[in-house]
A and B are shown apart, each in its own frame.
Chain A
Amino acid sequence: MKRTRVAGGLVTTLALALATPVFAQAPIKIGDINSYSGIGAPFTGPYRAAVEMAADEVNAKGGLLGRKVEIVFRDDKGQPAEAVKHAQELVAGEQVVLIAGTFLSNVGLAVSDWAKQNKTLFVVAEALTEALTWSKGHDHVFRVRPNTYEQGRMLAEKGAKLKYVKWAAIGPNYEYGKRAWETFRDRLKELKPEVEVVGEHWPTLGKLEAGPFVTAILNQNPDALYVSLFGSDWLAFVREADKRGLFKKMFVVGILLGEPEYIDPLKLEAPEGMLVTGYPWYDISTSAHKEFVAKFTKRTDKTPVLGSLVGYITYQSIFEAIRKAGGTDTDRLVAAFRGLRVETPVGPISFRAADGQSTLGAWVGFTKVDPKRGVGIMVNYEYVPGERVLPSDEEVKKLRAGH
C-alpha cells in the first residue's frame, strides 16, 4: 500500500514538474470490478461498453493531466470474496489510482469495506443498497446511481396520489428486495395512513417458480402490487401473471422495471400501465443526451440501457475529480469528490459532501407498449432529481453514527 502511494505520488510530482509531451508518461490506471459472469452478467456488458467509450473520448482529447487513461477490468463473478481479491491485485499489482464499478450490493459492500481498511478510493457505479453510503458509509466511498431508498420514495410519492389502499408486495429474498419494499411502504403509510398491507412474498432470488406466487397474490385480493423482482425472476413472473389475469385485477408498481435492462427482454409482453422507475432514453431530448445515445448506438450497434448511462457518468465523474484534484493522490481525489459537480448527458449532478451519494435522479412514469419498436416504454414520466428525496445532512449523520 505505502509503496503504491509513494510511487503514485512520485509520478504525479514528475507530471507536474515537467511539461512533457502527451502520453510520454505512464498512464493513469483505474480499476473496474464488475459481475461479467454469474447473476449480474446480463446487465454489465452495456456498462462496460459505455465505460470504454468514456475512456476513449478522454484519451482522444489528450487524456488527463497529460497522461493517458487506462481502465483495467476484472470479473467478480458475483462473489464478494472474488471482488476483494481483485481489489488487492488492482491496487498492489496494477497500481490503479482508484477502484470503480460493482453491480451487486454485497459485492459493493465487500469492496467498500476493503477500500475503507486500505484507504483506497472506491466509486460505486450501480450497486443499490443504501448501506453503502449510510449505515456502512465512510470517507473513501462515493456512489453514482440513486439508491434503493431514493427510488422507493420516488415511487411512494406518486403512489400515494393514487386511489389504492390494499397493497401486497413481491420481491427477491434479498436485502435489496426487502428494503425496496420497506422504504416504499413506510413513505406510503406516512403520506396515506389508511394504507393496508395484505401480503408480502419473498421468493428465492434467481429461482422463481412464479405460478404459486401469482395465485397466492390473487387470493389476497390487493388493489395494488409492489414488485421488486428483477432479471429472470421478473420475466418469469410477467408470463405467469399475465396468463392468470393478475395485471387486469390490480395496479402494479415496479421499482427499476422501466429500465431497458428489465423491460426490453419482454418485448411485446411488457405489462402496460405500471408505475415504474426507469430510463426513457428514447425520449430524453436534451442535445447532450441525444449525442450520448448517438455515440453509444454507433459504437455498439445497440441502444443504451441504464447501466450504460451510469457507467458513462461514473467515469465522467472520475475524470472530473482527477482534473479537479490535479493529481491522482487518494486524499486529494477524495477531497475533489466531495461536492464535485459534473455535467452529465442528463444535466448537472453533484456528489454530496455528507455521504458521497450523487444527486443523479431517476425517471418515474408509466409503462406502455410501443408497437413500432416492439418493446415496452415509459410515458407520462417525470425526472425526479436525487435532491428531492435524499435525507438531509443531519439525518445522514444519524444514519452513519449507527454503526
Chain B
Amino acid sequence: MSASLIVIQLLSGLAHAMVLFLISAGLSLIFGVTRIVNFAHGSLYMLAAYLTYTLTAALPLGPASFYVAVLLAATTVGVVGLAVEVGLLRRVYRAPELYQLLLTFALVLVVADVVRLFWGSENKTGPAAPGLAGSVSILGQLFPTYDLALIAVGPVVSGGLWWLFFRTRWGILIRAATQDREMVAALGVDQARLFTSVFVLGSFLAGLGGALQVPRQAVTNVMDTAIITEAFVVVVVGGMGSVPGALLAAIVIGVVDAFGVLVLPRASLVMMFVVMAVVLIVRPWGLLGRPEAQARSAGGAIAVERALPAPRLWLAAVLAALVLLPPLLPTFYIWVLVEILAFALFAASLHLLMGTGGMVSFGHAAAFGLGAYGAALLVRAKTPMLLAFAAAPLVAALGAALIGYFCVRLSSIYFAMLTLAFAQIAYAVVHQWYDVTGGDNGLLGVWPVPWLAPPLRYYYFSLLTCGGGIALLTLIGRSPFGLTLRAVRDHARRAEAVGVSVRAHQWLAFVVAGLFGGLAGGTFVFLKGSVFPNSLAVSMSVEPLVMVLLGGVQTVAGGPLGAAVYTILDTAATRYTEYWQLVLGAILIALVLAFPRGLLGILAERRRG
C-alpha cells in the first residue's frame, strides 16, 4: 500500500464518517434523552435529500440555491420532527418504554409512500455543490473538493454541539436528562419541552446529513432503510446518548469501511457489524457510553406483567374457529392462515424474551432464518421432510445458544443491538456461502411431502406445530422457570440476592425463544417452498417486534393477536392499494394512539382498575 493510497483512503473514510456522524448524533441525542428508538430517523434523512433536490432547482438564487436549499431542507425536517413529537409521540410517552418504536415504525411506512407520491419512484441525481464540484490533487491523486468540505463540516457541527451542551443551560439539562431523567423531572424541569427540543435538534441533524449527501449519492426511495441500520450501529458503538461517542464511532466505522475495501473486498456487507459485536463484547456500553443507572422502579423492563387470567370462553371460541372454519374457506385464505400461524408462533417466541424476560431482541430473525435454512438444507440433502422439519427448531436453538452466550452479558438497547449484529452476521454468512446456501438465489424446492402438500392438510399440520408451540410457550411462561425469569426482569439484583443465576436464566430463555422461533421458520419455509437471505434480514427482526407491541406485551396472547392483525392488514393493504405503506402506516398510527399499550393492553388496564 502506497502512502498516497493510505492518505486518500483515510480521507474518503473521513468524509463518509462525517455524514454518518450527523445522522447518528441526532439519533443518539434523541435516544439518550427520550429513550425513543427512532426508526423514522432514516426517513427524515431521506425527506431532506428530496427537499434539497427540489428546492435547489426551484430557488432563483443561482449558485447559492444549493446551500440555501440545504439549510431550508434541514430546517423543514426539523419542523417535521416538531410536528411528529408534539402530534404523535407525546401522546404515547405514558405507554411502556419502547412503545414509541411502533409509532416510529409506522412513520417509516408513511414517509416512504409520501415520498413516492410527491417525487415518484425513479432514482434521481441531485445537483453538485457549486464551487465544490471539482477535485484537488493530493499526493498525485485526485480527491473531491466536496468531500474535503464535508470533513470540515464534521468538526464545525461537533464544536457547535459542544458549545450547546457545555455552555448553555439547555445543554446542561440535556446532559443531566441523558444521565438520569427521573431525577431531572423530580427537580422540576419541564420534560415535555426538553423532549420536544431534543427531537427537533435530532431531526434537524438527520436532515442536514440527508441534504449534504445529495451531491455525493443518488436520491432514492430506499435511502431511509439503507442508512438507518448503519446509524444505529454508530450510535451503539459510540455509546447511546454520547455525541463525542457518535463522532468517534462514525470515524472508526468510516475508516474501517474504507480500508476494508482494500483488504477484504467481499466483507463490506458485514464489516461494521463485526466491529459492533467486538466493541460490545469488550465494552458493553459502547466506546464512550456509560453504564445505565439502575432503574429505581420495579419493572425496569418494558412492562409489568399482571397475571392476566386467560378469558377461557374467548380462547375456546378462537380455537374452535381455527379447527372448524378452514374447510369452508377459499384456498387462498388457508394459505394466509398458515402464514399467520407461523408469525403468531414467531411473535410468541419473541414475547418470551421481551415480555417475560425483559430482553428486547432486534435480531430474532436469526432464529427464524436458521430454522428455515436448517430445514431447507436437510431437504436438499435428501432428508425426509418431517425429519428436516423437526430439525428446524434444533438448529435455531443451537444458533441461539451461541448468540445468547454473548448477548445476555449486556442489557437493554446494547443487548438488542448485539442480537442485531449477530443476526446480520448470520445473514452475511448465508448470503456469501454460495456452495452451501445458494447465496442470494436461495434454496428452492423445499416442499412438504405429498400427503401434507394440500393446503388444508398443511394448515392443520401448522395448527398443530404452531398452536402447540404457543401453548408450550404459555406453559413455560407460567412455570417456575417463567416466574423466575420475571423476577430477573423486574429486579436483577434482588433476584441475584436470593440465589437466582441471572445469566443462566436469561441464556436459557434465549435458547427457548430461539427454539420456537426456529419452529416458526420451519413452518414458514415449507409454506413458501424456498428460502432466501431475506428471511434473516433486519425487517424480519422488526416485524415480530411490531407484532408483539401491537398485540400487547403484557400477555403471551399479545404476540399471536398482533401477528394476526398485522398480517391481515398488510395482506389487505397490499392487495387493494398501490400505496400499501401509507395505508398500513396510517392504520398502525391510529391503533397505537387508540391502544397505547397494545390491543390487549386495554384488558390489563381494565382488570387493574
Contact = CB atoms under 8 A, between A and B. Distances in A.
A383 interface: no
B134 A243 contact: yes
A245 B142 contact: yes
Interface of B: 2, 5, 8-9, 12-13, 15-16, 112, 116, 120-125, 128, 133-135, 141-144, 146-147, 215-218, 220-222, 226, 230, 257-259, 261-262, 265-266, 268-269, 330-332, 335-336, 339, 431-432, 434, 439-442, 444-445, 447, 455, 524, 528-530, 532, 534-535, 571, 574-575, 578, 580-581
Contacts of A219: 2, 5
A42 B221 contact: yes
Contact of A244 (B143, B432, B442): B143
A206 B439 CA distance: 17
A129 B440 CA distance: 11
A81 B578 contact: no
B268 A203 contact: yes
21 contacts: A1-B331, A45-B121, A74-B575, A80-B442, A88-B331, A92-B335, A92-B455, A93-B332, A106-B441, A173-B431, A204-B269, A206-B222, A215-B12, A218-B141, A232-B217, A239-B217, A243-B142, A244-B142, A245-B135, A265-B122, A267-B125
A92 B121 contact: no
Contact of A209 (B133, B257, B332, B535): B257
Nearest to A266: B125
Contacts of B571: 85
A136 B530 CA distance: 12
A288 to B, nearest CB: 27
A197 interface: no
A204 B9 CA distance: 18
A370 interface: no
Q: Which of B123, B261, B262, B439 has the largest count of A CB atoms less than 10 A from its CB?
A: B123
Contact of B125 (A112, A245, A265): A265
Nearest to A217: B261
Q: Which of A41, A80, A175 has the largest count of B CB atoms less than 10 A from its CB?
A: A80
B135 A174 contact: no
A175 B571 CA distance: 29
Interface of A is mostly: helix
Contacts of A93: 330-332
A117 interface: yes
A80 B268 contact: no
A75 B432 CA distance: 27
Interface in A57-103: 74-75, 77, 79-82, 84-85, 88-89, 92-93
Interface of A: 1, 3, 36-39, 41-42, 44-45, 74-75, 77, 79-82, 84-85, 88-89, 92-93, 105-106, 109-110, 112-114, 116-117, 129, 131, 136, 173-175, 199-204, 206-207, 209-213, 215-216, 218-219, 231-232, 235-236, 239-240, 243-245, 265-267, 269
B216 A216 contact: no
Contact of B261 (A88, A116, A216, A245): A216
A41 B124 CA distance: 13
B266 A75 contact: no
A74 B258 CA distance: 40
A94 B418 CA distance: 44
A38 B528 contact: no
Given A239-B125, A269-B125, A81 B332 contact: no
Given A92-B330, A136-B444, A212-B9, A106 B532 contact: yes
A211 B532 contact: no
Given A203-B268, A211-B16, A212-B258, A265 B578 contact: no
